Amino acid sequence: MPAKVNATAAAAAAKPSVRERLLAAADELFYSEGIQTVGIDRVVHRAGVAKASLYNVFGSKDELVQAYLDARTDRTREGIERTLTRFRTPRERLLGVFDAQGQIFTEPGFNGCAHITASAEAQPGGPVECANARYRNWVRTMFTDLAREAGVADSEGLARQLHLLYDGSGVSARMDRDPSAATTARAAAAALFDAAIKVGEE
């Protein structure tokens, strides 16, 4: 057993698994060019993997897309959580989400929120919609938790407002090619937060 673990670990170090290579290729191509426009052939070629392997690991393109979106969700969550460790006060942590967003916006190759883009391309009822629901559920609960920890009475209501800013910021950063949308959203979030706190104090 240890021998096998070492063997696979060494193989993973030398070369990522088929699944990882496929996910990496799918992420690069789907995110930058769109899901519909990128065909399976380009993904497998970029991954250096046979087509049959793709259909062995994932059953269809739809499932590959779903895995790509779920991986995006995980990476986004990790990035935000890492950024939030830099902040101490609850208010800073709440607004820090938009700082993390601004950081994402300035990364090379940024092309908007992958989930919004994928939603526009996918037909309703498919696995893409499920992945998007998971993502949006996480964002909302994150905002709700941060608002509650900051002492906001109507944490759920503020979270819904901040989620709108979060989505709108992503849309603007992509369509207007304006990374400063994050700072605009942060300023608006600060005003909404302060107003919500003031209401609670009354």
Partner DNA sequence: ACAAGACTAGACAGACCGGTCTTCCCAGTC
Partner DNA sequence: GACTGGGAAGACCGGTCTGTCTAGTCTTGT
| Residues of this chain that bind a copy of itself (CB under 8 A) | 33-34, 36-37, 112, 115-121, 123, 132, 136, 157, 160-161, 163-169, 171-172, 174-176, 181, 184-185, 187-188, 191-192, 194-195
Distance in angstroms (rounded) separating the CA atoms of residues 178 and 160:
23
Q: What are the DSSP calls for 134-173, one per residue?
A: HHHHHHHHHHHHHHHHTT-TTHHHHHHHHHHHHHHHHHHH
Residues for the chain: how many in total? 202
Question: Quick one: residue 88, left, alpha or beta (phi over 0 = left, psi -120 to 50 = alpha)?
Answer: alpha
Distance in angstroms (rounded) separating the CA atoms of residues 153 and 99:
24
Structure tokens at 147: 């608002």
The item of a copy of itself, DNA, none sharing an interface with residue 11, based on CB under 5 to 8 Å by kind, is DNA
Instruction: Check if the beta carbon of residue 37 is closer than 8 Å to that of residue 61.
Output: no
Binding residues for DNA, rule CB under 7 A, total: 23
The CB-of-62 to DNA minimum distance in angstroms stands at 6
The item of DNA, a copy of itself, none sharing an interface with residue 39, based on CB under 5 to 8 Å by kind, is DNA
Sole binder of DNA in the list 9, 20, 39, 75 (CB under 7 A): 39
Span interacting with DNA, options 56-64, 74-82, 174-182, 185-193, rule CB under 7 A:
56-64
The CB-of-171 to a copy of itself minimum distance in angstroms stands at 4
The CB-of-164 to a copy of itself minimum distance in angstroms stands at 3
